[in-house]
Amino acid sequence: NYQVYGVSGCCFAFNKLTFEKVFPLDENIFLYNEEWLLSEMSFRKNLRTMVNKNAVILHMHGATTKKIKMFSYYCFIKSEFYVLRTLFPKFLILNLIILLMRLPKFLFVYLKERIKN
């Protein structure tokens, strides 16, 4: 086992002490970026995040969202922007730059879905 900053949201577990320090989960996040927020909260509270090198996880990336690409990408952007504002409120300009960087792909996905339907 080894210590890391954070882990993927597809599979993680908490002990009772950690659970009490970082939960409840923030209800403003839907589908994406919750692990980033949990990782930073754990880091700021001096909690360790460990990876079990013997664990095997099969994660079907996008299996539940592939038919709703625009909605899922919108949720990703919204959650990412929320996490950035929450964790780094003094860096509003950087947050806006990242949001603007996401805009072209969002428009592409949106237009692609509109044309398909």
CA 48 to chain centre: 19
Residue 53, CA atoms < 13 Å, CB-side half-sphere: 3
pLDDT digits (tens, 9 = 90+) for 52-103: 888 887 777 666 666 667 788 888 888 888 888 888 888 888 888 888 898 8
User: What's the helix, strand, coil split of the chain in %, to 5?
Assistant: 55, 5, 40
Coil vs helix vs strand at 102: helix
Spatial CA neighbour of 73 closest among 28, 101, 31 = 31
Confirm whether pTM is higher than 0.75: no
